[in-house]
Structure 1
Amino acid sequence: MILLKNATYIDRKTLEFKSVNILVEEGINGNITFVEDSNVQGVETLDCKGKLVTKAFAVGHHHV
């Protein structure tokens, strides 16, 4: 798992910039979760202060 700590995220509904912590679970059944606690133990932590994290701008599973 990877914790993206102090990331800036754009809320798609309100278009507001929010400071968030995002826990990324890897693998086929992985999950992305917003978490309150930025001190999660046993995970790789990346400090994303000053960085913008967004959803994908393209759908990767479509064929061209």
Structure 2
Amino acid sequence: MDKRMTVIRRDLIFMCKLIFGYGVKIIIFQRFLRIRLIISLTIQRHLCFIRVICNIFFTYIILP
């Protein structure tokens, strides 16, 4: 009886560690995805800004 309880307890601890580790990995992964999304959005915004500046530069400085 006692041996079986220790085995069950060990299995429970293992399961808790597994679930906890999995949840932490999911949280980190979601945060990483969110950070990547924010970075890509800011890069797109900056690219639009740079494109506008380049257009203005070419139109007003190089072409005349």
The TM-score, its normalising length taken from structure 2, stands at 0.14
More helix by share: 2
Greater relative CO (CA pairs within 8 A, separation 6+): 1
Q: Which one has the largest radius of gyration?
A: 2
